[in-house]
A and B are shown apart, each in its own frame.
Chain A
Amino acid sequence: MAEQPNARWPGLVGTVASIAGLGIAGYLTYEHYTGSSSLVCSDKGIVNCLEVTTSTYSKVAGVPVAVLGLIFFVVMLILQLPAMWNRPGSAIRRVRMAWAVVGLGTVVYLLYAELFKIDAICLWCTAVHVLTFVAFVSTVFATVSTFPLDDDLDMAHREEAA
């Protein structure tokens, strides 16, 4: 007997993480376009948000990373809504999983840039990274632990036939 879906917890965790990430990314975007004049963060030593948010690594192909973060969390918020988790079919799950992987890959790249290129850590950025990781973990566990995907069923049928 296939397990019944339990879409509440992943939806809640992912939604909360996305809302929080959206808030921070929005704040960083605001600071980006206002000259970072009111960025609440240390500006000396290893923890130096200004150094990170105004570095050459703060843009990708001319687009501010803060804006990319904003876009990421808007899309992730939509994908994490409980209603989206309750949608049947595997397409939405694939998209959500792929989006979470894209986000986490970007986090790893930005962490590398902070540690080895900029030599500074931005605490706001770190908070965004943690939230992206939380969304990723939530997505992974929820995807593999709720009701089986159609592909799982197909695979199970094939294994059964074999």
Chain B
Amino acid sequence: MSKNQQNQRSNPKRRGAPQPAPNRSPAGRKYAQRQATKQQAALAARRARNRQVGIGSIVLVVVIVVTLVVIKVAGGGGSSNGSFSPAAGTPIPASITTKLTSIPLTTLVAAPTSGLIRSPQAIKDPRLNASGKPDLLYIGAEYCPICATERWAMYVALSKFGTFSPQPGRIHSAVRDGDIETLTFYKTTYSSPYFTFTPVETTTNQPEGNYYVALQTPTAAQQKLWNANENPATFPWLDFGGKAELISAQYDPAQLEGVSFDNIASDIGNNSTAVGADVDASAKVLIQTICSTLTADKPAAVCSAVGNG
């Protein structure tokens, strides 16, 4: 006999079993029987309702799951950024690109640098040129969250010296690597009268095995430079014409984790936000470095405005 059965029998009133019939008159026994019958009926009704609630909850769960699957199969309700991005990204609204390429220099100059954790360092490599101009070489990967972090500042800074055509597309670092919203320089062309910009995105953000689908391969010369830097063959890496290098993001990628693309774009240019201050300050440092290593302080309106840091 189980414990609850023992309990039930030892405490019948609590368990709802009918009371043992005391010595009663026939009328009393009939009354007790009627009471017991009523109690059983009420109990049965209550338990029927419990069953309905139980079955209803299970059906509800099944309906929710089926609805999710149907929505997915029908192609609706997808996430705004999906698991993988097209390698060249998705188009960014002109209102956003216009805003990011027009952040006033005074705003960048005023950005506090307290959030920066790294800055470009001088190197003495052979001059890096392309098409007769100093070259800014960037090697990164679309899956890479640190690259995703630095690209925002790069885009703001590079826009002060030239133009992209087409504009960078919107991507995000790999879902399993921070899922940080950003833009990509893959399939863009940068034109500047002062220097060339050579972006190399080595992978997409689409996993393949334990790594990612390959995208662009550095040339042998680029690979050699990349391998020789202070932090060999790691992302992101910027080589400012062989005169300076940046071996990681200038600010903490965690700043951007969980922040939407639109919110990041909105914060940039607003130094009162943490994201805005860090991106603006990083862009300022990049501009200073570009001025001193690639453009001989041209254009003066830009370089003189940001100073030498």
Contacts and interface: CB of A to CB of B under 8 A. Distances in A.
Q: Do A and B come together as binding partners? A: yes
Interface of A: 1-2, 4-5, 7, 36-37, 43-44, 48, 50-51, 54-58, 86-88, 104, 108, 111-112, 115-120, 133, 136-137, 140-141, 143-145, 147-148, 150, 152-153, 155-157, 159-160
A147 B4 contact: yes
B16 A153 contact: yes
A54 B84 CA distance: 14
B175 A117 contact: yes
B54 A143 contact: yes
Interface string B46-73: 1100110111011001001100110110
Contact of B65 (A56, A87, A108): A108
A152 B18 CA distance: 15
Of residues B17, B35, B72, which shows the largest number of chain A Cβ atoms within 10 Å of its Cβ? B72
A4 B9 CA distance: 10
A106 B147 CA distance: 33
Contacts of B43: 2, 148, 152-153, 156
The dominant DSSP class at the A interface is helix
B124 interface: no
Contact of A140 (B2, B47, B57, B64): B57
Contacts of A54: 176
A145 B51 contact: yes
Given A133-B61, A148-B16, A156-B46, 8 more contacts: A4-B5, A88-B3, A108-B61, A108-B68, A116-B79, A143-B50, A144-B51, A152-B16
29 contacts: A2-B15, A2-B17, A51-B175, A55-B176, A56-B176, A56-B257, A58-B176, A88-B3, A88-B7, A104-B61, A108-B64, A108-B68, A115-B68, A115-B71, A116-B68, A117-B79, A118-B83, A119-B78, A119-B79, A119-B84, A133-B61, A136-B58, A140-B57, A144-B50, A147-B15, A152-B46, A156-B16, A156-B42, A159-B46
Contacts of B42: 155-157, 159-160
Contact of B2 (A5, A36, A104, A157): A5
Interface stretch (B186-194, B204-212, B273-281, B290-298): B204-212
Interface residues of B, number: 49
B209 A43 contact: yes
Given A1-B40, A153-B43, A51 B179 contact: no
Nearest to A129: B65
Contacts of B51: 144-145
B72 A152 contact: no
Contact of A144 (B15, B54, B175, B176): B54
Contacts of A117: 79, 83, 175
Interface string B28-43: 0000000100111011
A156 B39 contact: yes
B3 A87 contact: yes
Contacts of B55: 140
A111 to B, nearest CB: 6
A56 B46 contact: no
B162 interface: no
B78 A56 contact: no
Given A1-B18, A55-B176, A150-B14, A43 B208 contact: yes
